[in-house]
């Protein structure tokens, strides 16, 4: 019999104000261990790009921890829907983010 593993959970978000752009991620293990990550973007970012940056940071962190199954939560439906290919990408500047996320997501057994 194989061992059933519960997925990790990842929550991501961004914050933009007059001081700049920040991103944050919280990874939660199946045993409820909370691992926070945060960063500051060193370039002017629009809301959607900052959200993508946060999601990418979180997925890279999860891969670095050897996570194979991941549930991803964000407050911006745009990112989640574009990754699931439910919505098309209308702004060209988001295409590289989308491609990067698709490559990273392919490394999980379930995401």
Q: What is the mean pLDDT of the chain?
A: 84
Q: Which fold has domain 8-105?
A: Nucleotidyltransferase; domain 5 (3.30.420)
User: 45: pLDDT confidence band, cut at 50, 70 and 90?
Assistant: low
Six token digits for residue 31? 């045993």
Please give the span between the terminal C-alpha atoms of the chain, in angstroms, as a whole number.
Answer: 23
DSSP reduced 3-state for 57: helix
Residue 2, pLDDT above cutoff 50:
no
Alpha-carbon torsion angle 96, 99, 104, 105, nearest 10: 140
- Tell me, what's the pLDDT at 42? 76
Residue 1, pLDDT above cutoff 60:
no
Residue 92 burial by Cβ neighbours in a 10 Å radius (0-12, 13-18, 19+): exposed
Q: What is the pLDDT of residues 68-81, one digit of tens each?
A: 999 999 877 777 77
User: 33: pLDDT confidence band, cut at 50, 70 and 90?
Assistant: very high
Six token digits for residue 17? 């104000």
Sign of CA dihedral 24, 32, 62, 51: negative
> How far apart (Å, rounded) are the C-alpha atoms in residues 40 and 111?
26
DSSP reduced 3-state for 20: strand
Per-domain residue ranges of the chain? 8-105
16-30, 38-52, 63-77, range with greatest mean pLDDT: 63-77
Q: Which of 8, 14, 22, 9 is nearest to 75 (CA)?
A: 14
């Amino acid at each position: 019999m194989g061992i059933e593993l519960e997925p990790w959970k990842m929550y991501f978000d961004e914050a933009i104000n007059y001081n700049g752009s920040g991103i944050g991620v919280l990874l939660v293990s199946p045993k409820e261990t909370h691992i926070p990550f945060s960063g500051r973007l060193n370039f002017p970012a629009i809301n959607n790009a900052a959200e993508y940056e946060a999601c990418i940071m979180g997925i890279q962190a999860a891969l670095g921890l050897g996570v194979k199954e991941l549930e991803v939560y964000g407050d911006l439906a745009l990112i989640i829907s574009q990754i699931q290919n439910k919505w098309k990408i209308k702004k060209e500047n988001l295409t590289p983010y989308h491609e990067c996320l698709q490559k990273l997501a392919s490394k999980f057994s379930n995401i």
